[in-house]
């Protein structure tokens, strides 16, 4: 068993190394250099003098041999140092840490909401399989989840903020105001986050709904449900205790596996709502061609996806011990 775990760890470490190496190599393989834009004050591709370019090359260590740059890059990463932002003149780690909580807040809220709502709707749909309600949910949820999140976001922004004025048009909290207590502040933050979370949830609801529906449908056909019904248990108890519990396994795994793509979705949605998370930061970094910052964000997102996968792995084993014993048998 230890051997299996060891293999897994090596697999993950190798993946991290590949990502880190790509992250190091790709920007260096691009034509031009990041210092072109430093002198690009009026959007003019101005030319730095050779002396100035040399100064920046030395400052960022780009004049050293590639293998040395790579080793020092790895060393910096191990110390949690993602480099220095060329445009913002600040440590990339600091910039990312400042924005990360907002993205995590959106993603985690969405995961919770979507899992609960998706599972419930999926179960109800399966329970009423074939009737009008099932058809209605099925059609609408699948349609909505096929629409890209940023379009759903724009529609929601237009209707609920611009037209009805129920929610703010942009940002994560009110500005230039003082809160009388933390509760007011929390409410304000929730008020601002509501539409982005709803958008992300709607965009990602279809997958969980379908999964829950299929999973419940397969559980419904099991013999033990006949037993439960024969025992005279209530419908609610059967649905919650006997069906959902047994149907949860794929849903939980899917939830963790989809964390990565949710971060991707959040990046688009943040841009629609001008929400100050990693997504908006990414757009800003691309606008000003800040390569170290773009690299930093890319790496953080990639690691986030890996960690989510690892968690899915572990949790799956926890819920379904058969997996581990199978692996042991094949190992």
Q: Which residues bind another protein (CB under 8 A)?
A: 30-33, 36, 38, 41-47, 87-89, 98-99, 130-132, 135-136, 138-140, 143, 154-155, 157-159, 161-163, 165, 169-173, 175-176, 272-274, 276, 280, 284, 288-289
CB of 197 to another protein, least distance (A): 15
With contact defined as beta carbons under 8 Å apart, do 295 and 31 qualify?
A: no
Using the minimum distance from each CB to another protein, give the nearer residue, 77 or 147: 147
CB of 29 to another protein, least distance (A): 11
In this structure, how many other beta carbons lie within 10 angstroms of the beta carbon of residue 155? 14
State how far Cα 298 lies from the chain centre. 12
Using the minimum distance from each CB to another protein, give the nearer residue, 12 or 87: 87
Using the minimum distance from each CB to another protein, give the nearer residue, 199 or 258: 199
Using the minimum distance from each CB to another protein, give the nearer residue, 40 or 324: 40
CB of 16 to another protein, least distance (A): 28
CB of 60 to another protein, least distance (A): 16
CB of 267 to another protein, least distance (A): 15
Using the minimum distance from each CB to another protein, give the nearer residue, 49 or 221: 49
With contact defined as beta carbons under 8 Å apart, do 225 and 243 qualify?
A: yes
Angle at CA of residue 246, ends 243 and 251, nearest 5°: 105
Using the minimum distance from each CB to another protein, give the nearer residue, 91 or 214: 91
């Amino acid at each position: 068993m230890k051997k299996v775990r060891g293999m897994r760890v090596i697999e993950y470490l190798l993946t991290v190394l590949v990502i880190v190496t790509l992250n190091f190599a790709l920007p260096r393989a691009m034509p031009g250099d990041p210092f072109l834009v430093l002198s690009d004050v009026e959007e003019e591709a101005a030319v730095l003098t050779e002396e100035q370019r040399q100064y920046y090359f030395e400052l960022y260590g780009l004049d050293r041999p590639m293998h040395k740059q790579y080793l020092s890059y790895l060393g910096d990463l191990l110390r949690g140092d993602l480099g220095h932002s060329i445009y913002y003149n600040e440590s990339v780690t600091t910039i990312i840490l400042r924005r990360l909580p907002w993205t995590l807040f959106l993603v985690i809220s969405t995961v919770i909401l979507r899992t609960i709502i998706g599972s419930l709707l999926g179960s109800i749909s399966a329970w009423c399989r074939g009737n009008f309600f099932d058809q209605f949910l099925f059609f609408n949820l699948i349609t909505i989840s096929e629409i890209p999140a940023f379009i759903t976001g724009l529609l929601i922004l237009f209707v609920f903020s611009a037209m009805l004025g129920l929610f703010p048009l942009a940002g994560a909290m009110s500005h230039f105001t003082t809160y009388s207590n933390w509760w007011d502040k929390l409410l304000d933050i929730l008020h601002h986050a509501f539409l982005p979370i709803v958008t992300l949830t709607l965009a990602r609801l279809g997958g969980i709904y379908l999964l829950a529906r299929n999973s419940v449908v397969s559980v419904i056909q099991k013999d033990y449900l006949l037993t439960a019904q024969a025992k005279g248990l209530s419908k609610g108890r059967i649905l919650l205790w006997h069906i959902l519990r047994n149907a949860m396994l794929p849903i939980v795994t899917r939830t963790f596996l989809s964390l990565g793509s949710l971060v991707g979705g959040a990046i688009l949605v943040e841009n629609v709502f001008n929400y100050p998370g990693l997504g908006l930061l990414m757009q800003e970094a691309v606008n000003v061609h800040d390569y170290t910052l773009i690299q930093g964000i890319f790496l953080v997102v990639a690691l986030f996806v890996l960690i989510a996968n690892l968690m899915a792995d572990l949790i799956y084993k926890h819920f379904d011990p058969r997996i581990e014993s199978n692996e042991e048998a094949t190992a």
